[in-house]
């Protein structure tokens, strides 16, 4: 059985995780060839699940084309000091990124492009550089060094609050023959989350998110909200069975507290991609999530989540994933979701 074991290094990594890593499927839609584009900003979309800059680019023949420069999710830009006001419509920019595999007028900006001063605002009259487009990361004592009681007044573990993205740890999926064949056939261009802005589903949203979540605890239920795709789960604690047999993206939940742990069991899930790199799960999938509070001397209040994924349709044995998140004492205003479809091939 695939079991992830807790290590001190994994806990400490929450303070040093790279803020601008890319989604696998999102990056795989682009080539490794780097190009530059120049043009006037027609729209700056500081939203989830990806930040986009739209440019009107004029070629040597005077033909204008709309280009999309896309990047990681807004929370990752935010951690690098970006905001919704860092770029304005009408500015003339030179952007660098990787070409689209389809020939569409699109580039993807990755960490090296965003963090090293390669994105520029120019004076269109003479091409001189006005500024490098770089955010200003927050300074001072990390917010995660605040304190938060480990338990609520009723003795249950205290998860209430906003929790910032941290490291994730997973083992390779233990595919059976069916699952392995689907993995071989996978092409990132067919990922519905990228291609059609589809809901990512339970495992991808709750198990693999690197982004902030918000948890609210009540006497009879718990609410989870996810920033990246605006997912929301209301999970009852009374153990009732589902009233219908319909399968959905988030499925049916049964939850309970076990000492210092919140346990959530989910079933009735649709067939869907659990990861951006093509791990497809069948409608036989069930999951068990275990949430535990802890305090770390270097990071402050934390949540550890372990998810065990069982799928007799596509996996040979249970598959595990784990993440850690740190407490945001001042809360956080979630960035809105405004998913944009990729541009068609030229």
Note the pLDDT tens digit of each residue in 177-205.
Answer: 999 999 999 999 989 998 999 999 999 99
| 183 burial level (CB within 10 Å; 0-12, 13-18, 19+) | middle
Determine the pLDDT at residue 204.
94
H-type alpha helices, 55-141:
74-79, 111-115
Determine the pLDDT at residue 299.
81
Average pLDDT over residues 1-6: 47
Q: Which of 56, 59, 58 is nearest to 41 (CA)?
A: 56
Q: Are 55 and 121 in contact (CB under 8 A)?
A: no
Whether the predicted pLDDT of 276 surpasses 90: no
Determine the pLDDT at residue 24.
46
Average pLDDT over residues 59-67: 94
Assign 80 a pLDDT band (cuts: 50, 70, 90). confident
Q: Give the range with max mean pLDDT: 25-34, 108-117, 282-291.
A: 282-291
Determine the pLDDT at residue 18.
43
Whether the predicted pLDDT of 264 surpasses 90: yes
Determine the pLDDT at residue 29.
87
Assign 14 a pLDDT band (cuts: 50, 70, 90). very low
Count of beta carbons in the 10 Å neighbourhood of residue 88 = 9
Q: Are 146 and 161 in contact (CB under 8 A)?
A: no
Assign 145 a pLDDT band (cuts: 50, 70, 90). low
Q: Indicate the pTM of the whole model.
A: 0.88
Determine the pLDDT at residue 27.
64
Average pLDDT over residues 163-176: 92
Largest CA distance in the chain: 71
Among 13-17, 192-196, 222-226, where is mean pLDDT lowest?
13-17
Average pLDDT over residues 150-168: 93
Inter-CA distances, 54 with 94, 99, 195, 205, 313, Å:
12, 15, 18, 27, 42
Assign 17 a pLDDT band (cuts: 50, 70, 90). very low
Q: Which two tokens stand for residue 341?
A: 């479809």
Please enumerate, as own/partner, the contacts of 242-245 that have beta carbons within 8 Å and a separation of 24 or more. 242/267, 242/268
Distance separating alpha carbons of residues 254 and 267, to the nearest angstrom: 9
Assign 233 a pLDDT band (cuts: 50, 70, 90). very high
Domains of the chain with CATH codes: 8-15+143-328 (2.40.128.20), 24-132 (2.40.50.140)
| 163 burial level (CB within 10 Å; 0-12, 13-18, 19+) | buried
Determine the pLDDT at residue 3.
45
Q: How far does Cα 29 stand from its chain's mean position?
A: 17
């Amino acid at each position: 059985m695939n079991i992830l074991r807790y290590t001190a290094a994994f806990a400490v990594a929450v303070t040093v995780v790279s803020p601008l890593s890319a989604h696998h499927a999102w990056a795989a839609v682009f080539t490794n060839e780097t190009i530059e584009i120049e043009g006037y900003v027609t729209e700056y979309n500081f939203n989830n699940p990806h930040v986009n800059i739209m440019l009107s680019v004029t070629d040597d023949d005077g033909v204008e084309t709309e280009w999309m420069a896309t990047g990681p999710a807004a929370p990752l830009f935010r951690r690098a000091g970006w905001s919704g006001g860092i770029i304005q419509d009408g500015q003339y920019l030179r952007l660098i990124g990787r070409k689209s595999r389809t020939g569409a007028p699109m580039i993807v900006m990755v960490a090296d492009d965003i963090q090293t001063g390669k994105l520029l605002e120019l004076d269109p009259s003479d091409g001189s550089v006005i500024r490098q487009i770089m955010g200003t990361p927050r300074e001072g004592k990390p917010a995660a060094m605040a304190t938060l009681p480990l338990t609520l007044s009723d003795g249950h573990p205290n998860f209430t609050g906003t929790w910032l993205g941290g490291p994730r740890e997973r083992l390779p999926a233990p595919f059976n023959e069916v699952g392995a064949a689907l993995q071989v056939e996978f092409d990132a261009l067919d990922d519905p989350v990228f291609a059609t802005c589809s809901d990512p589903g339970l495992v991808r949203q709750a198990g693999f998110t690197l982004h902030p979540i918000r948890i609210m605890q009540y006497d009879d239920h718990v609410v989870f909200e996810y920033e990246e795709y605006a997912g929301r789960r209301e999970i009852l604690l009374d153990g009732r069975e589902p009233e219908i047999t319909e399968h959905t993206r988030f499925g049916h939940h049964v939850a309970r507290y076990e000492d210092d742990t919140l346990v959530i069991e989910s079933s009735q899930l649709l067939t869907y991609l659990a990861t951006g790199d093509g791990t497809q799960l069948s409608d036989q999938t069930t999951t068990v999530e275990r949430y535990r509070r802890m305090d770390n001397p270097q990071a402050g209040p934390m949540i550890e989540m372990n998810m065990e994924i069982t799928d007799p349709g596509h996996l040979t044995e249970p598959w595990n994933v784990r993440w850690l998140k740190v407490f945001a004492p001042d809360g956080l205003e979630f960035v809105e979701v405004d998913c944009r479809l990729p541009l068609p091939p030229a």
